[in-house]
Amino acid sequence: MNIDRLSNNLKKTLPDSNLKATVLPGCPEISLFLFDPERLQGPLDHDVAQAVVAEPAYWSFCWASGQAMASYLLQNPHLVQDKEVLDFGSGSGVVAIAAAMAGAKSVTALDIDRQALDACEANAQLNGVSLSVLSDFDSCQGKIDVVSAADVLYDRDNMHWLDTLLTRADKVLLADSRVKNLNHPHYTLHQAYRCRTWPDLNEFEEFNTVRIYQGEKTESDSVQNRW
């Protein structure tokens, strides 16, 4: 993946912006091509601000939940080692990259944003790992052992994915900073991290606590699926 293509993607909405290979403060084992705030001088003019709102380059930031999940996988490689992993809503690709580093048999980065998939490929190359990319969840074929999902519950309308993802894998690893008390019969809280989005967006402190959940099918679910 040519970094120039990735930079051009960002310049479509922020003409004076640039990308910078950045070591993640919350997961220093990984570097990503991220938005370089030092290159942006002064406030955005109206047209540029409107373009950013209309088509935000989410992939040019590493969100707190992604960093926390990446760190969690590198600290617990047994969760993905020798497994087929699907990273849902991959963004910059940080979680997919961590899964590959942790020894996953294969990793697919899934995002509906084509520019995000470009970022996943470029960032994977930057970190010396391999992954495949996909833009449509329904077109995902083959065996999936583990689904990872970081920062997908920013919208309450996305809550249905908690059940949907468990239809594709026996285990779902979820990182979230938005829902304080997730109450779901299939998901259990395993760990919490203090982490910031990078570059720092000065988010509210409450969004810097990231909770890691593991979702698993129950035995009754498995029986129902067989019938």
pLDDT of 11 reads: 87
Fold for 1-219, please state it.
Answer: Rossmann fold (3.40.50)
| Mean pLDDT, the chain, whole residue set | 89
Contact 186, 219 (CB under 8 A): no
Token code pair at residue 195: 């982490």
- pLDDT(69) > 70: yes
Model confidence over 158-197: pLDDT tens digits?
A: 999 999 999 999 999 999 998 988 999 999 999 999 999 9
**Distance, CA of 156 to CA of 118 (rounded, Å):** 27
Encode burial over 66-79: b for 16+ CB neighbours within 10 A, e otherwise: bbbbbbbbbeeeeb
pTM: 0.90
The larger pLDDT score, comparing residue 88 to residue 55, is at 88
Q: Is the pLDDT of residue 44 over 60?
A: no
Residue pair 138/161 in contact by the 8 Å Cβ criterion: no
Q: Strand, helix or coil at 190?
A: strand
Mean pLDDT of 4-33: 91
